[in-house]
Amino acid sequence: MNVGMINSLEQLENGTVTDKIIEIKSIYKNGKTTVMPAKDPLSGWYKGVDRLSENDKRDLRFWADPDTKFVLKEGVVLDLNKEEHKVIWNWVKHQSCLAMSYEDCQTQPNAEFYVHLQNKEAVKSIARKNIKYQAMKYIKEDNSSNYPLRVKLLGLNMDGEDPVVIENFLMDRAESDPEKIIKLYVDKFLSLRMLLMEAVAKRKIIIEPTGAYRYGNMFLGMTEESVLDWMNSTENKSVVRLLEEDVNPEYFKEEIVQEEEDEIKIDFTPIAKPEIIVEQKENIIQPVVKKPVSTKPISKQIKK
């Protein structure tokens, strides 16, 4: 098994000759501390230390005592193929200042050192790089006219800035916080989030000191996400429509004018054309114009 395939401590302890290499790293650049076996309160003895009589020790080359010491520092390597290192590791791994992985080190308050698992750290690093790549891909494939909108969702106003400047800003964010950039493109509440942002900016929606969001006398929620859930509910569709009109009245005025123009219809009745009848007289084809019959009543002339 190759060292690069190791991703668990158990594999290290039980691996082949080339696998059994444990590297310890420090969270501090010059971290260094001397440790001794930790006592187990349940058994009253020391964790990882065998109970040996003097006769037992005569048959062994290496063993650990309760007062055995070892220095933990950045880059210390224990080769478990060596009996001495194996004895040391059996009790050192129980130290409260040593975490079994980098992730565990972040959650254990007393941890200053951790076991570096090469493959596990590499997998984690690749996953992080893939997230950054995806975030940058979204930016590169986006229309630059959308950039000002994206940064507004990040809480900044860069209207009027050159698109290249805004793109550079978004790329920097993709490097430092790719998850937030990706959310700008996959957020199912994007349009509602924009509406909420504008409504708050124009003080149509008020955020009270308690954190409550209110639209008029209507309570919407205590957090942005809860407000978005409320706005997305079909039961509140009519209220959201009113909010849209309140936030962007100019848009709805244009919409009303357009609807009125669409409703105007001009009825046009074409004038009846005279009916032309063709008569043949003396081998000459002459058109006879027949006037349209008037629909008005004809008054009779009375002879005196």
Q: 182-238: per-residue pLDDT in tens?
A: 988 988 888 898 889 889 988 999 999 999 999 999 999 999 999 999 999 999 999
CA-wise closest residue to 70 among 27, 24, 107, 105 = 24
What does the pLDDT read at residue 285?
42
The CATH code that applies to domain 192-261 is 3.30.250
pLDDT score of 137 more than 50: yes
For residues 81 and 125, give the distance between their C-alpha atoms in angstroms, rounded to a whole number. 29
The percent of residues in the chain predicted with pLDDT above 90, rounded, is 54
pLDDT score of 17 more than 50: no
Cα distances (angstroms) measured from residue 121 to each of 4, 75, 101, 117, 118: 10, 15, 9, 6, 5
Per DSSP, helices labelled H in 18-101 are 54-58, 83-92
Joined tokens for residue 6: 């190791």
pLDDT score of 251 more than 80: no
For residues 205 and 124, give the distance between their C-alpha atoms in angstroms, rounded to a whole number. 42
Q: Which amino acid is at 107?
A: T
Eight-class DSSP state of 39: B
| Mean pLDDT of all residues belonging to the chain | 82
SS3 content of the chain, % helix, strand, coil (to 5): 45, 15, 40
pLDDT score of 46 more than 70: yes
- Where along the chain do its domains lie? 3-116, 123-186, 192-261
- pLDDT category at 2 given cuts 50, 70, 90 is very low
- 9: part of which helix (H) or strand (E)? helix 9-14
Asked if residues 49 and 91 have their Cβ atoms less than 8 Å apart, the reply is yes
More confident residue, 12 or 163: 163
State pTM to two decimals. Answer: 0.46
CA-wise closest residue to 19 among 78, 70, 63 = 78
